[in-house]
Structure 1
Amino acid sequence: MEAFLISTGLVALAEIGDKTQLLAFILAARFRRPIPIILGILIATLVNHACAGAIGAWITHQVSPQVLRWVLGVGFIAMAVWTLIPDKIDEEETGGRFKLGVLGTTIVAFFLAEMGDKTQIATVALAARFNDLWPVVAGTTFGMMLANVPAVLIGDKLAHKLPVRLVHGIAAVIFAVLGVATLLGAGESLGV
């Protein structure tokens, strides 16, 4: 349960103002069809985060616990810094070139936008940290949905009312605490 809750909270906070949330706003404004957009976000996130989580779980079996602890600790601290850097979205990530319909465009655009994104990298790290693939994937996916469904439903009105810098600051602090705790040996009983 801990893996699910931490994964949900971290990704939901990190996603506020992230490029995939901006993509959700753009798709909602462009297509004005929330149900296929939300379903597309869910499908793309599940596939992307399942792959990322599998990589994280695989990593735990490839490196020693001491090396993994240092890699994860430094990685979480790097995620804290990265969370404080504002995202921008490229026009090509909005799916403008695709003629796949609303659902297909959303799936492709979200999957591609998540490649190498903070939340995908966080999923790899969290899966490695907790060595519990499905609760992490479920948590990171739920966190993405918590941040992006309101973006689709409420659209641009919500974006201007959220204190994005404060939310990012909170997420950065949580990532930093996880990083320092990992470096100091938290989770050693879990093999990390």
Structure 2
Amino acid sequence: MLSAFTAGLLLITISELGDKTFFIAVILSMRHSRKLVFVGVTAALAAMTVLSVIFGQILSVLTQGSEKYVHYAEIVLFIAFGLKLLYDAWKMPIHAEEEVIEEAQEAVEKAEIDSQKQSIMSILLKSFVLTFIAEWGDRTQIATIALAASNNPIGVTLGAILGHAICAAIAVIGGKLIAGKISEKQITFLGGILFIIFGIFATLEGS
């Protein structure tokens, strides 16, 4: 369980920092209550994590008796993701985070209807929906599914939710100060290295 918790925590914390959902939280926290934005964003990411772990467990049940092939698929997935991220980082311009910030800004602007008079529930709902949509189909969701398919589901869930909460807290508390200092290129590179490390560990565990 501890190894699954650690894997989920590291995977999410590094991969999500500087992601689109991170900047959505930053922008929302500059316009609304930080506490409400944190609760809405974290709830969305926690819900996505639980769904991903459930998908992973369903996959594990459906492939019962073929654990070896699921394990090989997990290795291939992590290494492929890692190599893809390294390639993306290599091709990425130095200030690529500006494009991510613009996408997050556009998503928030579309959701803003009456920014002067918004209820607590509307802020929570907006934070939840924007984050959930942005996170759906993200590489971390797929990686969480892969982790949950062959690791302790409770450990993966707790680690991933904690990782999401850490990133959300950084975004709403100090996101405005560090938003312009985050290098999407460097974060993507670190994420690629992390995925490859997970692939190597998965290979060693199966040997």
For Structure 1 versus Structure 2, the TM-score category normalised by the shorter chain is 0.7 to 0.9
User: RMSD of the TM alignment (CA)?
Assistant: 2.3
User: Counterpart in 2 of 1:96?
Assistant: 110
Partner Cα distance (1:25, 1:154) in 2: 8
Highest relative contact order (Cα 8 Å, sep 6+), 1 or 2?
A: 2
Q: Which structure 2 residue ranges, 5 or more long, are not aligned? A: 89-95, 114-120
Matched-pair contact (CA < 8 Å) for 1:93–1:112:
no
Residues 1-192 of structure 1: pairs in structure 2 closer than 5 A: 1-31=2-32, 33-63=33-63, 64-84=66-86, 85=88, 88=100, 89=103, 93-94=107-108, 96-97=110-111, 101-130=122-151, 132-182=152-202, 184=203, 186-188=204-206
Choose 1 or 2 for highest CA Rg: 2
Paired residue total:
185
Which has the higher mean CA deviation after the structures are superposed, 163-172 or 62-71? 163-172
Listed one character per residue, the Cα deviations across residues 139-177 of structure 1 (whole Å, up to 9, x for unaligned) are 111111111211111122112233443333222112112
Query: 1:133 and 1:93, CA in 2 relative to 1: closer, same or farther beyond 3 A?
Result: farther
Identical aligned residues as a percent: 26
TM-score normalised by structure 1 residue count: 0.85
Matched-pair contact (CA < 8 Å) for 2:8–2:156:
yes
Partner Cα distance (2:84, 2:172) in 1: 24
* Aligned-pair CA distance for 1:114: 1.0
Q: Which has the higher helix share?
A: 2
Partner Cα distance (1:126, 1:158) in 2: 30
Partner Cα distance (2:180, 2:106) in 1: 24
Matched-pair contact (CA < 8 Å) for 2:27–2:105:
no
TM-score normalised by structure 2 residue count: 0.79
Q: Which structure 1 residue ranges, 5 or more long, are not aligned? A: none
Matched-pair contact (CA < 8 Å) for 2:75–2:200:
yes
* Aligned-pair CA distance for 1:91: 5.7
